[in-house]
């Protein structure tokens, strides 16, 4: 397909996807999977629907490789977060095209990349592209919630591993064009922190609220610990991804304790990009105590959103947390963690990103970044050792605006960026498709 055709195809397909309400919960992603299957099959792309329950299907599409090459997975998800029409300028499910932008819930997160991936594999199929290894496109369910029971990529990796097994993958997570110190960088997410929540259980002694001195109020005791958590300042450390980012931006790698200041000296924006990546972070977010106004609580539970650096474990950081909180009648109860994985940076997929950016914007560079949250990439890294990057280049939309629009009102995507994304995904497929399996 010509560039103009790619542009029209991705715009039309995104509009159709937005018009399908796949808010999770309940999801109902099957309608999106069926739309994508109906779009792809006429191009000769092999399609399969995999579903734990009928209404929550995952689409897996494939161009079979000729043999002897690594597989590339274009990964995306079709579910979205909710939208309140009262907050929007347009109907969140209209897919309206206005001033070169497609409006609607999921335009950025991440039906735009869904559409771009589908158009990329369809256009390559129409051209007779024959990769050495399989080119796979997965549009999965249940990324936005992903609890037990799970319906999306985690379920596919467990129950249908051969459908999504791949040596390389391109997913969401980065691709922002940022200007730091007067130079242009496109961020590529090669790692992610681990979401590792815990509950701080503070114990006391109950009593009637009219006689506070006869009780030991667990809620009041918890207040001191909450304040300590808000002030938590662990020793900074440099993970490989931040070292590589600092080398690209600052020209050298400062000591961990000086990293924030060094980045800020180049550009305050650079400091903002790495601040949460220099250590684990803790954020108290929820609290439960007494269920009656006149009963002093004997137990207060504080839920804390904790994010660990790749490679850190709960056992590693608990002593540091306890030392910071000090003595007290409390417990730290960890919940299951997710994420905390990384991929190598010196790979053919990285080379594909670098060559593409050098072509579309000479002088710009690709810089690695670690995602402060986490994505579905960790399921692939854990299950198959996949080299998975979050990279969907966005050149026209300001990254600060995009960050404000994701999960918010008036979400929209630039058609220019959708076309750019299709072109990169095609380049990635052509690069990996030419590789021999190592």
| Active-site residue flag, 84 | no
Q: Are 321 and 359 in contact (CB under 8 A)?
A: no
Catalytic hit among 143, 144, 411, 435: 143
**Residues forming beta bridges with residue 299, ordered by sequence position:** 203
| Active-site residue flag, 79 | yes
Catalytic hit among 9, 79, 134, 241: 79
SS3 sequence of the chain:
CCHHHHHHHHHHHHHHHHCCCCECCCCCCHHHHHHHHHHHHHHCCEEEEEECCCCCEEEEEEECCCCCCCCEEEEEECCECCCCHHHCCCCCCCCCEECCEEECCCHHHHHHHHHHHHHHHHHHHHCCCCCCCCEEEEEECCCCCCCCCCCCHHHHHHHCHHHHCCCEEEECCCCEEEEECCEEEEEEEEEECEECCEEEEEECECEECCCHHHCECHHHHHHHHHHHHHCCCCCCCCCHHHHHHHHHHHCCCCCHHHHHHHHHHHCHHHHHHHHHHCCCEEEEEEEECCCCCCEECCEEEEEEEEEECCCCCHHHHHHHHHHHHCCCCEEEEECCCEECCECCCCCHHHHHHHHHHHHHCCCCEEEEEEECCCCCHHHHHHHHCCEEEECCCECCCCHHHHHHHCCCCCCEEEHHHHHHHHHHHHHHHHHHHCCCCC
Q: State how far the alpha carbon of 411 is from the alpha carbons of 136, 222, 265, 398, 418, in Å.
A: 28, 39, 33, 13, 14
**Residues forming beta bridges with residue 296, ordered by sequence position:** 207
The residues annotated with a catalytic role in the active site are 79, 143
């Amino acid at each position: 397909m010509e560039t103009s055709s790619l542009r029209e195809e991705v715009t039309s397909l995104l509009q159709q996807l937005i018009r399908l309400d796949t808010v999770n919960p309940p999801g109902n992603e099957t309608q999106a999977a069926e739309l994508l299957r109906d779009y792809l099959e006429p191009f000769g792309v092999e399609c399969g629907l995999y579903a734990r329950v009928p209404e929550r299907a995952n689409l897996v599409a494939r161009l079979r490789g000729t043999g002897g090459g690594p597989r590339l997975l274009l990964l995306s998800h079709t579910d979205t977060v909710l939208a309140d029409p009262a907050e929007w300028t347009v109907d969140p499910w209209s897919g309206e095209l206005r001033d070169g932008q497609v409006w609607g819930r999921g335009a950025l997160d991440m039906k735009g990349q869904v559409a771009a991936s589908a158009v990329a594999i369809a256009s390559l199929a129409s051209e007779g592209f024959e990769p050495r290894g399989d080119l796979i496109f997965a549009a999965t369910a249940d990324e936005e919630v992903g609890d037990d029971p799970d319906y999306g990529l985690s379920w596919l990796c467990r129950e249908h591993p051969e459908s999504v097994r791949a040596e390389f993958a391109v997913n969401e997570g980065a691709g922002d064009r940022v200007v730091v110190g007067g130079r242009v960088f496109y961020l590529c997410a090669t790692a992610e922190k681990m979401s590792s929540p815990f509950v701080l259980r503070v114990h006391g002694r109950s009593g009637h609220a009219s006689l506070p001195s006869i009780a030991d109020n667990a809620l009041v005791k918890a207040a001191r610990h909450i304040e300590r958590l808000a002030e938590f300042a662990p020793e900074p450390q440099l993970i490989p991804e931040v070292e590589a980012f600092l080398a690209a931006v600052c020209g050298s790698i400062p000591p961990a304790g000086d990293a924030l200041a060094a980045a800020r000296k180049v550009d305050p924006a650079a400091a903002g990009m790495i601040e949460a990546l220099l250590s684990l972070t803790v954020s108290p977010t929820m609290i439960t105590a007494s269920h009656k106004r006149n009963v002093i609580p004997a137990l207060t539970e504080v839920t804390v959103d904790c994010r660990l650096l790749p490679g850190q474990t709960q056992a590693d950081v608990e002593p540091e947390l306890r030392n910071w909180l000090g003595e007290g009648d409390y417990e730290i109860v960890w919940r299951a963690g997710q994420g905390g994985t990384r991929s190598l940076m010196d790979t053919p997929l990285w080379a594909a990103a670098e060559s593409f950016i050098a072509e579309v914007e000479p002088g710009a560079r690709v810089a690695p970044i670690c995602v402060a949250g986490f994505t579905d990439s960790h399921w692939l890294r854990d299950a198959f050792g996949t080299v998975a990057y979050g990279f969907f280049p966005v050149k026209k939309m300001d990254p600060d605006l995009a960050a404000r629009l994701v999960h918010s009102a008036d979400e929209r995507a630039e058609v220019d960026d959708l076309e750019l994304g299709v072109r990169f995904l095609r380049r990635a497929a052509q690069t990996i498709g030419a590789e021999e399996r190592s």
